Amino acid sequence: MSPGRTSHVPASGAPDRPSGAGGPDRAPTRWASAGSLLIAILALLGLVAVTVAVASQFVFPFDQPWLALARTLDGMPVVWQAMSQSANIPLIVIGVVFVLWLLWKKRHREALLVILILVAVTAGSEGVKQLVGRPRPSGTGDGIPGVVYSYPSGHVLEVLTILGMITVRSWRSSRPFWLRLALVLVVTAEVVLVGIARLALDEHYPSDVLGGLLGAIAALGWYGWFTRPGGWADRPASHHARRTEGSGA
């Protein structure tokens, strides 16, 4: 080191690296971020394509066979009602707790992003239902006043969106791999069972479930993109973390 020059070395003993600096260790992060954006765009395009097909009264070849298969499970209405209801009030509570937890962690931008995504998927689902106007297989509503139309499946859309955002956040954490993997498997099972329940109860066609899945995947892609390291919804927490490290806490 030249005389008269100083170099700041943080408490960890490693020299500072400017935020966003490149390096081999950042390559996976960049690829994951790009993947989130690509998934969001492709899923959104897929949702548009399926929506146009449903609005045009296109007959999906898998709708009737898969619906008939699911209907053979209707001998367990209590089980499927319970699975269906798990994507109602309990899911709302989980979503509210998630937002409150983010606020408690001072991740205000991420909390706002989650709120905006939830508003978008809920309003978007109802808007598409009214636009497409597809009757439910049962020909009746879902037991909720004003809920008459079938496409897309709001239950599947919302359960995957809410639990999926929590899963993405957990996957990026430092928790043990087995715990993160267990959460992925539990959420996957919940989404699959909710989808089956909606078919077994004769409330949706399989293509309705497909529309819900595509909408949720698009929402998760945008969530992953905006919360990526250095992303808009990640910056406040990153700045807070750097200030904490700099203070020696």
Asked if residue 233 has pLDDT above 80, the reply is yes
Domain ranges of the chain: 34-234
* pLDDT single digits (tens) 26-64: 555 566 667 889 999 999 999 999 999 999 999 999 999
DSSP H helical segments within 72-176, as ranges?
A: 77-85, 89-104, 108-132, 154-171
* pLDDT single digits (tens) 123-182: 999 999 999 999 999 766 555 555 689 999 999 999 999 999 999 999 989 999 999 999
pLDDT score at 157: 97
68: closest CA among 203, 212, 199, 192? 199
Partners of 135 in beta bridges: 149
